[in-house]
Amino acid sequence: MKLIYHPDTDSLYIDLSERPSVDSQEISKGVVLDYDAQGKLVGIDIDNASNKAMLNELTLSKLPAKMQTLTA
């Protein structure tokens, strides 16, 4: 999984898979879900991300990875 922030457009893309997106659905204003050919979620695009999410802190918890908190 990758979190990609574009400060010039204030958009955040949460890349959940390396599979290509073939369909998208806007679930609320500025929040778009991307799906692959099998209908599985592969990404989440958030416009005006700084108004919709706390971008200065990321906490991973109970994932099969090392837990770490990062602060900008």
Rounded mean pLDDT of 64-70? Answer: 67
pLDDT tier at 18, thresholds 50, 70, 90:
very high
- Give per-residue burial for 38-55: e unless 16+ CB within 10 Å, then b: eeeebbbbbbebeeeeeb
- Would you state the pLDDT for residue 71? 67
**What's the predicted TM-score (pTM) here?**
0.83
pLDDT at 68 > cutoff 80: no
State the Cα–Cα distance between residues 26 and 33, nearest whole angstrom: 6
pLDDT band with cut points at 50, 70 and 90 for residue 1: confident
- How far apart are alpha carbons 56 and 21 in whole angstroms? 28
pLDDT at residue 60 tops 80: no
* Number of domains, the chain: 1
What is the side-by-side order of every strand in the sheet holding 41-46?
2-6, 11-15, 41-46, 31-35, 23-28
Query: 17 is in which domain, residue-wise?
Result: 2-71
